[in-house]
Amino acid sequence: MTFTAQIDDLTTALRHTRSRLLAPVDPFQLQIPRDPEVFVEDTLYYVMDQWAEDLRTQGNVLEEDTAWNDAQSGYPRYVLRMAGGNLVQLHFTGEYPRSLFLNISKGFRNGQQFSDARHVQMELPITTDANALLASLLDGLKGVTV
C-alpha cells in the first residue's frame, strides 16, 4: 500500500469520526488549561480514541506508543497498523500551549526510526473543542500532498 493510499484511509476514517462525533462544548472550559496533561487527557486522547474506533472498523489498529515519553511537550505518539500490514507513525509534537503538530510517517521495521522521506506534518489548533480539533485534522489531511 502506498503512503498516499494510507493517508487516504486515514482521511476516510476521520470523516466518519467527524460525522459521528458531535461532542458538546462546555462553555466553562473555553480556556486552554495551563497543564498540558489536562489538554492531552481531556481533548487529544478523546479525539484519538474516537478516530481509532473508526479506523478499527476498516481493519486498521491505532495504538498509543506507551514506551514513548517526551517530558518536554507531553504529547503522545501512536502507531497505526494498516489492514495490509504496513505501519504508519502518528507523532504529536510542539511546545504547549504555543504549538501542536501532527507528524505522519511511514513506519519501518525499527520502531525508533522516523523517516523524513515519507513524512507529512500539519499544524493543529490547541483547543478544548474536540469538534474543532477533528475539523482541523480533516482539513489538514485533505490538504496533504505526498
pLDDT in tens, 91-138: 999 999 999 999 998 855 555 655 546 789 999 999 988 888 999 999
Compute φ and ψ for 106, nearest 5 degrees: -70, 130
CA-wise closest residue to 48 among 117, 100, 114: 100
Which cell is 103 given? Answer: 507528524
* Residue 54 pLDDT greater than 60, yes or no: yes
Q: What are the residue ranges spanned by the domains of the chain? A: 3-22+35-142
pLDDT for 146 equals 63
For the chain, the straight-line distance linking the first and the last C-alpha, in angstroms and rounded, comes to 14
Report the share of the chain in percent with pLDDT over 90: 43
